[in-house]
Amino acid sequence: MYELKDQEGNVKNNSGKKHPRNAPQDAGRRKLMASAIGAGVAATSGKALAQTADPIITDVQDWNRYLGDGVDARPYGAPSPFEKQVMRRDVSWLTADPKSSVNFTPLHELDGIITPNGLCFERHHGGIAEIDPANQRLMINGLVDTPLVFTMEDLQRFPRENHVYFLECAANTGMEWRGAQLNGCQYTHGMVHNVMYTGVPLKYLLEEAGVRIKGKWLLPEGADPSHMTRSIPLQKGLEDCLVAFKMNGEALRPEQGYPLRLVVPGWEGNMWVKWLRRIEVGDQPWHQREETSKYTDLLEDGTARRFTWTMDVKSVITNPSPQAPIRHGRGQMVATGLAWSGHGKVKRVDVSVDGGRNWQHARLDGPSLSKSVHRFYYDFNWDGQPMMLQSRAIDEFGQVQPTKQQLRKARGVNSIYHNNSIQTWLVGNDGSVENVEIS
């Protein structure tokens, strides 16, 4: 046992009731106090944390001493100022104008499976539409018995559901097709977010309008200046698409399509039309820009790979990674990352420290939900030697995440979209991490 004393030398008991509020700062004294107590601290043998005098635990700090903000100071909460580095970031040379651009989720700063609303990557083609929900309409027309227009209030009278789904842009990891390029998992893999949506199954709205027998395709359309439109098979619309108005419990963020967006579970992000204003029912696909010149891959034989909707099984180690090096030296450590599959659940994740020669099972933790990201951990002892860290996901249908070589063999090097290959991080003996690939 050792005593805790505040800056006035008063002994504090465990209930810590003595809180002088107006004592002047006395840094010199604080140090002295700490060293006097240090011996007692060092004697306790913490596993990884044993250390000498630590004034932060032995001395009274400002946050113990002065009253903090009241409940009236933060009507809508924001992260601690000490978390300033946790932000979406863009890559300046990727696009000419921020209004038709992308930023990336800081995956290396997050844990668990849910992406906080303010950190979900953004991809828009014509800026963020600002829509008053009073002026929000959703039209269903085309091959239906009764064309309908819904207001937000109308939509909320239909039975609604909650589901956690990942959204991945098909171009995620697209810059890595020809070689390791961007140094950070935020940039290589950050075009993915994972959110709990509240919304109405699209099936109910289609039933209300009455899809005609010839109706086989849907064309959702955005209200933003890009008029984002994609052809979606009716079958998918009936299966699990949602017309969503809430994300993680609160209204969609403007960036994510406020007040209404289409949720297309497991399928490429481009189809998840934001600021949703209309869904047309037709008998064949429309061949819009985003499904002809874009979101299509040129194969080695000159043919185009089109209508590639499902996001295949994929994973990445988020920590350590180039933006999150190992700072604690060798010994006990935790590597962690995310795995997902647009086909369903992730069954297993393997981790390699030697560039894929040997694999160990990672530990999946947290909810295992279909078409949601899964969190994995690899708890191990680092010997301080360089590592080539990799993760490899396998989904419930036995689909295995491919190596870069396997993917290039199948798709060539002219592709941009649907790069789900295994990522390699080279960890140096100083703990620094670099994006590399194994040839």
Ligand X SMILES: Nc1nc2c(c(=O)[nH]1)N[C@H]1C(S)=C(S)[C@@H](COP(=O)(O)O)O[C@H]1N2
Query: Which positions lie near Mo ion, rule CB under 5 A?
Result: 123, 169, 269-270
Q: Does 369 bind ligand X (CB under 6 A)?
A: no
Q: Does 314 bind ligand X (CB under 6 A)?
A: no
> Choosing among Mo ion, ligand X, none, which partner's interface includes residue 198 (Cβ < 5 to 8 Å by kind)?
none
Q: Which is nearer to Mo ion, 123 or 230 (CB)?
A: 123
* Alpha-carbon radius of gyration of the chain: 26
DSSP 283: S
Q: Which helix (H) or strand (E) holds 262?
A: strand 261-263
> Choosing among Mo ion, ligand X, none, which partner's interface includes residue 224 (Cβ < 5 to 8 Å by kind)?
ligand X
Q: How far is the CB of 234 from ligand X (least distance, A)?
A: 20
Q: Quote the CA–CA distance of 211 and 237 in Å, as a whole number.
A: 12
Q: Does 167 bind ligand X (CB under 6 A)?
A: yes
Question: Binder to ligand X among 60, 113, 120, 242 (CB under 6 A)?
Answer: 120
Q: Does 395 bind ligand X (CB under 6 A)?
A: no
β pairing state of 101-102 and 424-427: unpaired
Per-residue b/e over 249-279, b at no fewer than 16 CB within 10 Å? eeebbebbbbbbbbbbbbbbbbbbbbbbbbb
Pattern 75-114, binding to ligand X, x per CB under 6 A? Answer: ----------------------------------------
Q: Which is nearer to ligand X, 228 or 234 (CB)?
A: 228
Q: Does 291 bind ligand X (CB under 6 A)?
A: no
Q: Identify the CA nearest to 197 among candidates 220, 165, 167, 169.
A: 165
Q: Does 33 bind ligand X (CB under 6 A)?
A: no
Q: Quote the CA–CA distance of 87 and 404 in Å, as a whole number.
A: 29
> Choosing among ligand X, Mo ion, none, which partner's interface includes residue 399 (Cβ < 5 to 8 Å by kind)?
none
- Preceding omega of 259 cis (within 30 degrees of 0): yes
> Choosing among Mo ion, ligand X, none, which partner's interface includes residue 122 (Cβ < 5 to 8 Å by kind)?
ligand X
Q: Does 269 bind ligand X (CB under 6 A)?
A: yes
Q: Which is nearer to Mo ion, 223 or 394 (CB)?
A: 223
Strand partners, 141: 280
Q: Which is nearer to ligand X, 191 or 394 (CB)?
A: 191
Q: Quote the CA–CA distance of 93 and 270 in Å, as a whole number.
A: 21
Q: Quote the CA–CA distance of 264 and 249 in Å, as a whole number.
A: 19
Q: What are phi and psi of 217, to 5 degrees?
A: -130, 155
Stretch that binds ligand X, among 50-58, 153-161, 268-276, 416-424 (CB under 6 A): 268-276
Give the CA-trace dihedral at 65, 66, 72, 75, to 10 degrees.
-70
In one letter, which amino acid is 211?
Answer: V
Pattern 217-236, binding to ligand X, x per CB under 6 A? Answer: -----x-x-x-x--------
DSSP-assigned states of every residue in 141-167: EESBSS-EEE-HHHHTTS--EEEEEEE
Question: Binder to ligand X among 7, 188, 198, 256 (CB under 6 A)?
Answer: 256
Pattern 122-141, binding to ligand X, x per CB under 6 A? Answer: xxxx----------------
> Choosing among Mo ion, ligand X, none, which partner's interface includes residue 103 (Cβ < 5 to 8 Å by kind)?
none
Helices (H), 121-267: 152-155, 185-189, 202-209, 234-239
Pattern 270-289, binding to ligand X, x per CB under 6 A? Answer: x-xxxx--------------
Q: How far is the CB of 199 from Mo ion (least distance, A)?
A: 20
Q: Which is nearer to ligand X, 167 or 351 (CB)?
A: 167
Q: Quote the CA–CA distance of 132 and 280 in Å, as a whole number.
A: 23
Q: Quote the CA–CA distance of 27 and 122 in Å, as a whole number.
A: 46
> Is residue 333 within 8 Å of residue 326, measured between CB atoms?
yes
Binding-site ranges for ligand X (CB under 6 A): 120-125, 167, 169, 193, 222, 224, 226, 228, 255-256, 269-270, 272-275
